[in-house]
């Protein structure tokens, strides 16, 4: 099995297939296309031409950057692919961000330790309040 980390945006189909594989909701084609047009940077991991992992960076490309959609297909989890994706995303962030750039993310429950290894802090903490989210119904 040859794995390749490639700087590219997945197709809508690849994206929704990965989301579905990990139990996340899928989105309408037009919404994914628009989201990808506004993505700053993304990578895919391929195995034998099939996309098995991905991640992207969204934000204003300067002060606020957000790690989004770090997804590894369940059949390939635990093999270091998430680390490879994060390394690529953070290398991009290091290039465009400066001192005090805010790098945010939301992670699935139970994945906090994975992101701690990259220097992320769980909220709330002494320094930061709770993160919040609202999902449109």
Distance CA 59, CA 47 (A): 29
Do 67 and 104 touch, CB atoms closer than 8 A? yes
How high is the pLDDT of residue 64?
96
Residue 71: CB partners within 8 Å, gap ≥ 6?
18, 19, 21, 22, 24, 53, 54, 55
Reading the block at residue 104, the tokens are 């945010």
Q: Tell the burial category of 39 from Cβ atoms under 10 Å away from its Cβ (0-12, 13-18, 19+).
A: middle
Of 3.40.630.30, 3.40.50.300, 3.90.1520.10, 3.30.70.380, the CATH number of 3-116 is 3.40.630.30
Per-residue pLDDT of the chain (137 residues), as tens digits, is 789 999 999 999 999 999 999 999 999 999 999 999 999 999 999 999 999 999 999 999 999 999 999 999 999 999 999 999 999 999 999 999 999 999 999 998 999 999 999 999 999 988 899 988 888 88
Question: Which residue do the tokens 């990965």 mark?
Answer: 18
How high is the pLDDT of residue 135?
83
How high is the pLDDT of residue 133?
86
How high is the pLDDT of residue 2?
84
């Amino acid at each position: 099995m040859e794995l390749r980390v490639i700087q590219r945006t997945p197709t809508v189909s690849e994206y929704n297939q990965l989301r579905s594989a990990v139990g996340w909701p899928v989105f309408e084609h037009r919404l994914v296309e628009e989201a990808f047009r506004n993505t700053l940077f993304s990578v895919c991991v391929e195995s034998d031409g099939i996309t098995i992992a991905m991640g992207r960076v969204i934000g204003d490309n300067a002060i606020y950057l957000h790690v989004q959609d770090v997804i590894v297909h369940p059949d390939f989890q635990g093999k270091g692919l998430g680390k490879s994706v994060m390394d690529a995303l953070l290398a991009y962030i290091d290039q465009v961000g400066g001192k005090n750039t805010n790098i945010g993310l939301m992670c699935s429950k139970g994945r906090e330790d994975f992101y701690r290894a990259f220097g992320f802090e769980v909220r709330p903490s002494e320094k930061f309040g709770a993160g919040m989210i609202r999902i449109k119904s």
